[in-house]
């Protein structure tokens, strides 16, 4: 029997989920649901599945084993809890949710109902990212000293105007950090380990009619003692590929999207030259730097395959709900540090009270 999928939310990102499912033998898209039936009908026609405007009706379909959620970020929790109660495994687009409380309610519902929960972070499945993680785990960097993430993207005013939820605290949950740079926030903390404390600044400089930041910088101290920087923007024309830099006493590496631009270690191996030659120019898309649709679905596919493997074998997934929660926590801490001008220590015990949300 194939693993059956249902998609909730039929906007742009739903296409990447549908393509990922379509590419996996033994996986089948059974249905898609939107409050706007015309949106569900359009997606269903393209991927040959059943359209729904009633979520409960799709959840009642016994052929649906996994629900993937592609609604606006601040509207993930409600359908996720309903799906968990219906016994469906869950794959949720980043961010898991926009507050720690809402993240925790999803995690608790999945645990209570015995279903799996994965948060979409496809950058971890790029081979360049995995090679970097392997090098860190083998100690090739020596003492880790610096870990930096740069997401200098560009979004037009028309992008924010295209949906009433975009650029709002209630549904977007934040701006350049929560919507765009969260991929590299996840990647950085996966590579460097937990953040101990941070300070930050944010600003809205180049867009009108949005409540959230289009520029952000944060200075980090990791639990292992290393320092780091996060820079994020949707106001950096024309938009550049996202970049992650890791430095240590015995090595340095720089990844730009899927490309390895620097791969230097004090103790060299025979594979090092092959790695830099093979991965120096593998990126085939704009990486979402200027166009959010200019990404491939292949990394989504790899993560979907990982979830299917976990369902079938009972072995842990690469990215579960707790992993998805971590990047939300770091970003909320950045917002609090920027608002107060004070250093914020992690982990956060509760959601920080942000005055910006109340405007």
pLDDT (tens digit, 9 = 90+) per residue, 329-345? Answer: 999 999 999 999 999 99
Q: Is residue 197 part of a domain?
A: yes
pTM over 0.75: yes
Q: Is residue 68 part of a domain?
A: yes
CA distance 181 to 178: 6
Residues 99 and 73 in one domain: yes
Domain that holds residue 63: 3-119+299-319
CATH number at residue 263: 3.30.360.10
Residues 32 and 69 in one domain: yes
- Measured over the CA atoms of residue 234, residue 237, residue 239 and residue 244, the dihedral's sign is negative
Q: How many distinct structural domains can be found in the chain?
A: 2
Strands 195-203, 66-69: pairing is unpaired
Residues 34 and 55 in one domain: yes
State the average pLDDT over residues 277-281: 88
- The band of 187, judged by pLDDT with boundaries at 50, 70 and 90, is very high
Residues 112 and 128 in one domain: no
Q: Tell me: the pLDDT tens digits for 322-331?
A: 999 999 999 9
Residues 107 and 181 in one domain: no
Residues 315 and 329 in one domain: no
- DSSP per position, 208-259: SS-SS-SEEEEEEEETTS-EEEEEEESBSTT----EEEEEETTEEEEEETTE
Residues 107 and 175 in one domain: no
Residues 172 and 250 in one domain: yes
> Residue 11 in contact with residue 69, Cβ under 8 Å?
no
State the average pLDDT over residues 271-295: 84
Residues 148 and 85 in one domain: no
The predicted structure's pLDDT at residue 236: 98
Mean pLDDT over the full length of the chain: 96
Residues 279 and 131 in one domain: yes
């Amino acid at each position: 029997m194939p693993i059956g999928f249902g998609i909730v939310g039929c906007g742009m990102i739903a296409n990447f989920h549908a393509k990922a499912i379509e590419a996996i033998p033994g996986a089948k898209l059974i249905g898609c649901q939107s409050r706007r039936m015309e949106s569900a009908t359009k997606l269903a026609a393209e991927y040959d599945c059943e359209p729904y405007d009633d979520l409960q009706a799709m959840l009642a379909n016994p052929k649906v084993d996994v629900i993937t959620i592609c609604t606006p970020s601040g509207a993930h929790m409600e359908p996720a809890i309903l799906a968990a109660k219906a016994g469906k495994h869950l794959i949720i687009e980043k961010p898991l949710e926009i507050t720690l409380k809402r993240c925790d309610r999803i995690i608790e519902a999945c645990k209570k109902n015995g279903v799996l929960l994965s948060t979409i972070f496809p950058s971890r499945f790029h081979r360049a990212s995995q090679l970097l993680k392997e090098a860190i785990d083998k100690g090739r960097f020596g003492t880790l000293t610096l870990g930096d993430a740069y997401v200098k993207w560009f979004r037009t005013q028309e992008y924010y105007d295209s949906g009433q939820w975009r650029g709002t605290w209630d549904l977007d949950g934040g701006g350049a950090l929560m919507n765009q740079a969260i991929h590299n926030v996840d990647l950085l903390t996966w590579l460097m380990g937990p953040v101990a404390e941070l300070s930050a600044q944010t600003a809205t400089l180049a867009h009108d009619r949005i409540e959230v930041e289009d520029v952000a910088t944060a200075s980090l101290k990791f639990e292992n003692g290393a320092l780091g920087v996060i820079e994020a923007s949707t106001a950096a024309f024309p938009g550049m590929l996202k970049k992650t830099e890791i430095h240590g006493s015995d090595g340095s590496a720089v990844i730009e999207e899927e490309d390895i631009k620097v791969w230097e270690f004090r103790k060299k191996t025979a594979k090092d030259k092959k790695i830099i030659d093979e991965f120096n120019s593998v990126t085939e898309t704009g990486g979402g730097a200027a166009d959010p649709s200019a990404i491939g679905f292949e990394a989504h596919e790899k993560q979907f395959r990982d979830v299917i493997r976990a369902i079938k074998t009972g072995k842990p997934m690469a990215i579960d709900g707790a992993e998805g929660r971590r990047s939300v926590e770091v970003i909320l801490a950045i917002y609090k540090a920027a608002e107060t001008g004070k250093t914020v220590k992690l982990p956060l015990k509760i959601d920080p009270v942000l005055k910006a949300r109340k405007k």
